[in-house]
């Protein structure tokens, strides 16, 4: 479920944008809280008044939410406390995406006022928001998340359950649920875009619908799912996460030496977004979909010919 939602409503003096913070509660109950209704003057790209008067600014406030800093609009406590359990149906409102608002802000900033700084900020606003959101989540130096069984699985007490997922990480599933570990495949996905794109083509309508929703939230709102949400989407509470190729390769080799779950000849169904800097004839190149043995995949990830 996306972390926030933007709704547009008509107002006598212009268009109001309502920002809702969405929370997934017990037993999958979804609630959303109205954080603030942004007037047209609070929808400009720079909004320097924020730094002097602590005034709301749509784009800065969304970045706060994406960074994990929740907040309450103290100037409108009654309105902010509104909670709705069906975020898709609100009278007089329609969903609008952050990307659309960034494009709209560029048109507003190009109004001939001569404010070059504001126009420059608006022109690069969406790219800057995307870069900021993904930069905070890509953690190639982090340790892999491999303690995912029993009390640490993604349905129970996994510490990273509510952490937004690294969009470039390896997501490995079905390692511990195969009847024949030597012959049955497990699955490895590199990167959230490739993962969600593949799942959006699933024959399971619920899975494909949810994957498409997560993909739209990333592409249109720079809003990333949590690890717990990804594990639920992949239907594996023992999903393993690796933040770089080297740690995945090392783990595969360790498992083949001392584990009963993975062998060198165990097949792996691999889904990735190919590295555009590598030609297809490069030994390290991985196509969008491939079926490899564990030994071969470990060798490719270690960049060994």
Q: What is the DSSP string of 200-265?
A: TT-SSHHHHHHHHHHHHHHHHH--PPBHHHHHHHTT-TT-EEESSHHHHHHHHHHHHHH-SS--TT
Residue 144 resides in a domain: no
Section 54-73 average pLDDT: 81
Residue 291 resides in a domain: yes
Same domain, 128 and 218: no
Residue 140 resides in a domain: no
Residue 99: pLDDT band (50, 70, 90) is very high
Same domain, 81 and 163: no
Checking if the pLDDT of 85 tops 50, the result is: no
Checking if the pLDDT of 294 tops 60, the result is: yes
The total number of structural domains in the chain stands at 2
Q: Whole-angstrom Cα distance, residue 200 to residue 127?
A: 25
Same domain, 174 and 76: no
Total-model pTM? 0.86
Residue 236 resides in a domain: yes
> Given 110, 135, 160, which residue is the final one in a domain?
135
* Largest interatomic CA distance in the chain: 70
Same domain, 82 and 129: yes
Q: What is the pLDDT of residue 78?
A: 40
Residue 164 resides in a domain: yes
Same domain, 157 and 296: yes
Tens digits of residue pLDDT in 18-50: 999 988 776 667 888 999 999 888 887 765 555
Residue 124 resides in a domain: yes
Q: What is the pLDDT of residue 268?
A: 98
Tens digits of residue pLDDT in 133-145: 999 999 999 999 9
Q: Whole-angstrom Cα distance, residue 277 to residue 254?
A: 29
Q: What is the pLDDT of residue 163?
A: 93
> Given 135, 161, 185, which residue is the final one in a domain?
135
Residue 102 resides in a domain: yes
Tens digits of residue pLDDT in 266-276: 999 999 999 99
Same domain, 106 and 208: no
Q: Whole-angstrom Cα distance, residue 65 to residue 21?
A: 8
Same domain, 296 and 185: yes
Residue 271 resides in a domain: yes
Same domain, 53 and 170: no
- Long-range interactions of 249-256: CB distance < 8 A, separation 24+: 249/297, 249/298, 249/299, 249/301, 249/302, 251/144, 251/146, 252/294, 252/297, 252/298, 252/301, 253/298, 255/294, 256/294, 256/295, 256/298
Same domain, 125 and 162: no
> Given 135, 163, 191, which residue is the final one in a domain?
135
Task: Output DSSP code: residue 19.
Answer: E
Q: Report the mean per-residue pLDDT for the chain.
A: 86
Q: How large is the angle between the packed helices 125-135 and 58-66, nearest 10 degrees?
A: 20
Same domain, 178 and 105: no
Same domain, 163 and 224: yes
Per-range mean pLDDT, top range of 55-64, 77-86, 234-243: 234-243
Domain that holds residue 272: 150-301
Q: Whole-angstrom Cα distance, residue 281 to residue 272?
A: 17
Same domain, 181 and 277: yes
């Amino acid at each position: 479920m996306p972390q926030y939602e933007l709704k547009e409503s008509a107002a006598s003096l212009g268009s109001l944008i309502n920002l809702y913070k969405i929370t997934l509660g017990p037993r999958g109950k979804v609630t959303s809280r109205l954080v603030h209704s942004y007037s047209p003057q609070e929808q400009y790209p720079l909004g320097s008044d924020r730094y002097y008067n602590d005034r709301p600014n749509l784009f800065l406030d969304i970045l706060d939410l994406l960074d994990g800093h929740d907040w309450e609009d103290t100037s409108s406590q009654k309105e902010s406390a509104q909670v709705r359990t069906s975020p898709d149906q609100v009278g007089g409102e329609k969903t609008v995406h952050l990307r659309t608002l960034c494009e709209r802000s560029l048109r507003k900033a190009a109004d001939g006022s001569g404010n070059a700084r504001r126009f420059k900020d608006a022109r690069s606003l969406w790219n800057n928001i995307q870069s900021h959101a993904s930069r905070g989540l890509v953690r190639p130096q982090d340790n892999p998340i491999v303690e995912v069984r029993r009390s640490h699985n993604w349905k129970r007490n996994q510490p990273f359950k509510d952490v937004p997922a690294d969009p470039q990480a390896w997501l490995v599933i079905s390692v511990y649920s195969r009847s024949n570990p030597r012959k049955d495949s497990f699955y490895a996905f590199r990167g959230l875009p490739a993962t969600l794109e593949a799942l959006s083509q699933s024959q399971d309508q619920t899975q494909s619908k949810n994957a498409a929703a997560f993909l739209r939230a990333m592409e249109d709102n720079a809003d990333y799912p949590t690890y717990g949400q990804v594990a639920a989407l992949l239907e594996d509470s023992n999903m393993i996460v690796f933040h770089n190729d080297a740690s995945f390769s090392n783990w595969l080799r360790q498992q083949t030496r001392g584990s009963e779950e993975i062998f060198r000849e165990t097949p792996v169904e691999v889904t990735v977004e190919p590295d555009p800097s590598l030609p297809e004839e490069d030994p390290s190149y991985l196509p969008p979909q491939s079926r490899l043995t564990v030994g071969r995949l470990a060798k490719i990830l270690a960049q060994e010919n």
